[in-house]
Structure 1
């Protein structure tokens, strides 16, 4: 149904650019844009000075810092200009009062709002490893066949999520269940912000469904744990003593090169003091698998220490930490009703098929934005 000129005018007046300007103003205040601009000018002067490349490491640090500042204030300035220009577009729409102009205004408003939200989310990925690659490890919980099938479903879910994001996925290690599914698996996720997004998935994931393996068609509850570590070995300062390592080699399973099932190329490393175990079988040579496994071990040990630090900070401020093994973060209920609910943020949806097909962005974004679950968001499925 076509809008009347009066209706179009009312709708145009309802578009709240003040709210958009307030969001950008808050970001400008948080960044202290004038200070960042002064720092950028100083860094650019140093980059243009003679002998800048005499110290290559120092030069790279300056360039990296320059790029960080530009990524903050550049898009912010562009968005501020677009919001100011949008005020003029609204006035044009009021003068024209026709559907074609209204559609143009409405489309730009939606795009502007979405771009500001995306920019805010991008800025939340500011941790030391957030912009890098990630290792994600899936372990089936107690429950035998049921749990292994659930772990396999989660592995597929994250692989589909990576496809949606355009990330590259490599299966680093895989241990099949006795009958079906996956006992444990490690994936390497390669893409910008992979760790920043996936770190929100750490914890225990619970499935409630009518078991396809139960002839009596009873409802079963299954658990699987997700661990995520950064794939940034060169940036992780963790010292590991050779005497603390137990290294085993074995024949890799599954697809691979011509030697994959004939030679003991797969490597399993146990860090004896912590009990952390990592394994890699994707590479065709034992040295490459060992190097990849050591990268995962460093990342896991770093994550353990980081968790301890965060837990201590939370303890000091009277907060209960959500991070760590054993913390149930999300329920996937297939029966008696359909609902996926994050117990930390309260984010939920009844569209379980899309979630299992990799539609996880709403859950990740809610966690990144610091959304907290209320009393009504508590899990109520036995």
Structure 2
């Protein structure tokens, strides 16, 4: 780059900084930081460890975004001063340094820009990811298990997230009928929400003696996680029916001898959720109630979407529509049907 190209590149980056700043709204985030700081100064703040930790994480994230915008603005201003100096004093080595700095600035902007796409009301929070086998019998159950391993591998390799398995129902011959993960970490829901939908697999069947080509389906649900004490989604005691049963798997003799697993039914909607992976019943009760609130949130969103669709006179894509195809035979291709 020569000096004029560096100047034009800086102008382009400055405009981009302005757009990102407008979307992230650092003034509003600064006000939110002050609000959270006030909460942390209350004597009872640290009595609830889990909620206190989430507040501190949110505050740290907000500060990181605000400081990041300010740092980018300062870097751009510094490069502007250097370019102004170079317009009077020629220095090839300094021009090369400016070019390097502008490339680094562009990368930082790209990283910060991603956060502008994670600005939904629940994007910053934790997520519940559930997988259900669909049409295809044993093939579909095996496909559900493959998807679970895929998502677990993604989460294992991403240090920003942690997860735990809270429900798993195995298939009669192989694979899974269903499985549910609780994913924690900043922007967990924001990053995972677009995975929701029907996933289709085409392959030569390992369960067929003739190795015929088989198509299988599995449904992935991604829901924002609501704490069991959240007031946003209210669940009346009269509207739920609790069932307790013995669980298997990990947890030692306690889960095999005591009814630690929980099944919760919401009577008005008919929604049923269960949690069985925790060692104690009280832990599973809290998880089941949290799952129910997330399902009720989804039901509310679907009803609003249906109302909007009728007002527009158009049929909108349902939450269970096919979003991605994984073809392993006769060729190998992963195609996202939303983007083509």
TM range (shorter): 0.7 to 0.9
Matched, 1:337 2:331: yes
SS in 2 for 1:259: helix
Once the two structures are TM-superposed, the CA of residue 246 in structure 1 deviates from its matched residue by: 3.0
Once the two structures are TM-superposed, the CA of residue 89 in structure 1 deviates from its matched residue by: 6.8
69 and 188 in structure 1: CA distance in 2 versus 1, 3 angstrom threshold:
closer
TM-score, length of structure 1 as denominator length: 0.72
* Aligned partner (choices 293, 299, 304) of residue 298 of structure 1: 293
* Aligned partner (choices 233, 237, 244) of residue 249 of structure 1: 244
Q: Which residue of 2 aligns with 1:165?
A: 158
Matched, 1:327 2:321: yes
Task: Measure the CA separation in 1 of the matches of 2:210 and 2:4.
Answer: 57
Matches within 5 A, 1:168-183: 168-183=162-177
Task: Measure the CA separation in 1 of the matches of 2:202 and 2:296.
Answer: 32
Q: 1:263-314 CA deviation, whole Å, 9 max, x = no partner?
A: 2211111223222111111221222211211111111111211232244345
Q: 1:81-124 CA deviation, whole Å, 9 max, x = no partner?
A: 223334567769x83359xx85x666544442232122222133
Does structure 2 retain, via aligned residues, the 8 Å contact 1:133–1:190? yes
Once the two structures are TM-superposed, the CA of residue 150 in structure 1 deviates from its matched residue by: 0.5
54 and 241 in structure 1: CA distance in 2 versus 1, 3 angstrom threshold:
closer
Task: Measure the CA separation in 2 of the matches of 1:89 and 1:332.
Answer: 51
Task: Measure the CA separation in 2 of the matches of 1:65 and 1:179.
Answer: 44
RMSD over equivalenced CA pairs, Å: 3.7
36 and 261 in structure 1: CA distance in 2 versus 1, 3 angstrom threshold:
closer
- Aligned length, in residue pairs: 323
Task: Measure the CA separation in 1 of the matches of 2:61 and 2:152.
Answer: 30
Task: Measure the CA separation in 2 of the matches of 1:254 and 1:163.
Answer: 22
Matches within 5 A, 1:5-24: 9=2, 16-24=9-17
* Aligned partner (choices 267, 273, 278) of residue 272 of structure 1: 267
Task: Measure the CA separation in 2 of the matches of 1:65 and 1:286.
Answer: 30
Q: Which residue of 2 aligns with 1:287?
A: 282
Matched, 1:95 2:95: no
177 and 88 in structure 1: CA distance in 2 versus 1, 3 angstrom threshold:
farther
* Aligned partner (choices 72, 76, 79) of residue 79 of structure 1: 72
253 and 176 in structure 1: CA distance in 2 versus 1, 3 angstrom threshold:
same
Q: Which residue of 1 aligns with 2:121?
A: 128
Task: Measure the CA separation in 2 of the matches of 1:317 and 1:228.
Answer: 26
Q: Which residue of 2 aligns with 1:228?
A: 222
Q: 1:201-236 CA deviation, whole Å, 9 max, x = no partner?
A: 111111111222222222111100011222222445
SS in 2 for 1:171: strand
Task: Measure the CA separation in 2 of the matches of 1:65 and 1:261.
Answer: 39
Runs of 4+ in 1 over 6 A off after TM superposition: 63-69
Q: Which residue of 1 aligns with 2:108?
A: 115
291 and 265 in structure 1: CA distance in 2 versus 1, 3 angstrom threshold:
same
Q: 1:3-33 CA deviation, whole Å, 9 max, x = no partner?
A: xxxxx64996598333322222223445666
Structure 1 unaligned segments of length 5 or more: list them: 1-7, 347-376, 378-382
Structure 2 unaligned segments of length 5 or more: list them: 46-51
* Aligned partner (choices 256, 263, 269) of residue 261 of structure 1: 256
Task: Measure the CA separation in 1 of the matches of 2:8 and 2:259.
Answer: 65
Task: Measure the CA separation in 2 of the matches of 1:111 and 1:322.
Answer: 40
* Aligned partner (choices 161, 183, 203) of residue 189 of structure 1: 183
SS in 2 for 1:204: strand
310 and 112 in structure 1: CA distance in 2 versus 1, 3 angstrom threshold:
farther
Q: Which residue of 1 aligns with 2:204?
A: 210
Once the two structures are TM-superposed, the CA of residue 158 in structure 1 deviates from its matched residue by: 0.8
